[in-house]
Amino acid sequence: MNFRDLHPNIRLRICVGFVQRLLSVMLMPLLVIHLAALYGAATAGALTLAVAVAGIASNFLGGHLADVYGRRPLLVAGEFGATVCFALLALANSPWWSSGVATFVLFLAHTCAAQLATPAADAMMVDVSTPENRPLVYTINYWSINVAFTVGALIGGFLYEGHFTQLLAGAAVACSLTTGVIWRWISETAPAGSRDAATGPGAMLRGYLAVARDRLFLKQLTAAALIAAVEMQIGYYIAVRLADEFPRQTLATIGSWAPAVDGVVILGILRAVNAALVVALVLAAKNLLVRASERTRLYAGIAVFTAGYMVWAVSNSAWTLIAAAVLLTLGEIASIPVRQTLLADLVPAHSRTKYMAAYALNARAGLLVAALCVSVGAFVPAVGMSLLYGTAGLAAILLYRSLLRARELQAKPEATGPVLSRSS
């Protein structure tokens, strides 16, 4: 099976998602930078926090609404809202009108519109995929995400100065096209009979309380948060450690050319190596790993990924750090499609978007832990932080071990009893 054999909604969803992520990576950091230039770093930080909180609330609201009204209306509304917001942002940062207040309000509105549609988009990928093709679906989607991140960061970085308004206007045009694609070609995918007839805040609260009581899902959420907490260290504790401790050293000597790197430069190199390897290898890895079982890919992938971060936490050798970057990227490529497939297989169809909305909290939890690790790292030596990463990775493997067993039991028709209970 290849990309052309997938359901049309999946193919369109991956393409539309590529554009959405490219625009997000390209423009969201630039909007924060722009607000900082207008109001100062402290105020911009508070405004960005407000945007993040509003995004989380919209994500939960979108999870409920997509279970009530279906996936397609939320996707259309979210993309149309993004189109309007980008168009008005371009106007609010143009030679004819310049307004910091409007920029913030529209930044907030865009985030809410985008997050409102995210659970529906995630659920749609599950709705029309099968257990057999989900590893392929999530592998291609993972590759698409990384390409979008790489291209978007480059475009935004090079064109911010002097072209900010044009970038926003171009984003509005791109979003108008993706809105048209969703409206014209993407069909409704909510399973028959799965829509929640109950509306209103009370129904939404009851739905999410049911999710919170699902211990099987909470294991998935916890495992994902542990991995996210390790993954985000590159932007927090590891970044701080390298900037402070990494000694300036020569990376290589080629004739008269002997490039030297410091902690900030090596951090950029590690990020670039990770992104480049993902883009270059993730599709080929699907064929290379086809003979390995899901269990092997998951356990070995998480173990190798964690080991790479453990090395990043302690090493001050440039080439050792680069080798660890290669190692952890291979682990990331091996494990991510399996983890996403496992989530899709275990989430109940009748409230799929609520589960997807709640699952998004793993990144927020990981971000919080990563931020706390900066403070912890001021008192705990690098070896201690490395062991902390190892503990998180081991805990994630153990949680996924129980989840794999639960999926195997659910697949057996004769399987009954408390071991399959989602609330025990």
Q: What is the mean pLDDT of residues 13-35?
A: 91
Cα–Cα distance for residue pair 123/127, rounded to 1 Å: 6
CATH 1.20.1250.20: which residues of the chain?
A: 3-189, 215-249+260-411
pLDDT of 318: 92
Cα–Cα distance for residue pair 84/173, rounded to 1 Å: 10
Across the chain, mean pLDDT equals: 89
DSSP category for residue 195: S
CATH class of 215-249+260-411: mainly alpha
Quick one: CATH architecture of 3-189? Up-down Bundle (1.20)
Q: What's the pTM?
A: 0.85
Q: What is the mean pLDDT of residues 60-72?
A: 91
pLDDT tens digits, one per residue of 70-114: 899 999 999 999 999 999 999 999 999 989 999 999 999 999 999
pLDDT tens digits, one per residue of 394-408: 999 999 999 999 888
Pick from 407, 250, 390, 421: which is nearest to 312 by CA?
390
pLDDT of 340: 92
Cα–Cα distance for residue pair 320/13, rounded to 1 Å: 39
pLDDT tens digits, one per residue of 201-237: 888 888 899 999 999 999 999 999 999 999 988 888 9
**DSSP symbols for 59-82:** HHHHHHHHHHH-HHHHHHHHHHHH
pLDDT at 416 over 50: no
pLDDT tens digits, one per residue of 155-170: 887 888 788 999 999 9
φ, ψ (nearest 5 deg) of residue 352? -60, -40
- Residues 6 or more apart whose CB falls under 8 angstroms from that of 350 comprise 67, 191, 193, 194, 196
DSSP category for residue 246: P
Q: What is the mean pLDDT of residues 180-203?
A: 81
